[in-house]
Amino acid sequence: MKKLIIANWKCHPTTQKQAKALAASIKKAASKGKAEVVVCPPFCYLSLIGSSSKVKLGAQNCFFQAKGAFTGEISPLMLKDFGCSYVLVGHSEREQTLCETYEMASKKIALSLACGLTPVLCVGETQAQKEKGEAFIEMEKEIRECLNLVKKADLEKIAFAYEPIYAIGTGKNCSADAALTAVLFIRRLVSEIAGKKAVADSIKVLYGGSVKASNAQEYLNNQWISGLLVGGASIDAKEFAGILKNIQ
Catalytic residues: 91, 163
The Cα–Cα gap between 224 and 184 comes to: 7
Q: Nearer Cβ to ligand PGA, position 117 or 174?
A: 174
User: CB of 122: closest distance to ligand PGA in angstroms?
Assistant: 7
Task: Encode the chain in three state secondary structure.
Answer: CCCEEEEECCCCCCCHHHHHHHHHHHHHHHHHCCCEEEEECCHHHHHHHCCCCCEEEEECCCCCCCCCCCCCCCCHHHHHHCCEEEEEECCHHHHHHHCCCHHHHHHHHHHHHHCCCEEEEEECCCHHHHHCCCHHHHHHHHHHHHCCCCCHHHHHHCEEEECCHHHCCCCCCCCHHHHHHHHHHHHHHHHHHHCCCCHHHHCEEEEECCCCCCCHHHHHCCCCCCEEEECHHHHCHHHHHHHHHCCC
Q: Nearer Cβ to ligand PGA, position 58 or 76?
A: 58
Q: Nearer Cβ to ligand PGA, position 77 or 161?
A: 161
User: CB of 98: closest distance to ligand PGA in angstroms?
Assistant: 14
User: CB of 22: closest distance to ligand PGA in angstroms?
Assistant: 15
User: CB of 10: closest distance to ligand PGA in angstroms?
Assistant: 7
User: CB of 232: closest distance to ligand PGA in angstroms?
Assistant: 3
Residue whose beta carbon is closest to ligand PGA: 231
Q: Which residues bind ligand PGA (CB under 6 A)?
A: 8, 163, 168-169, 208-211, 229-233
Q: Nearer Cβ to ligand PGA, position 146 or 168?
A: 168
Q: Nearer Cβ to ligand PGA, position 18 or 201?
A: 18
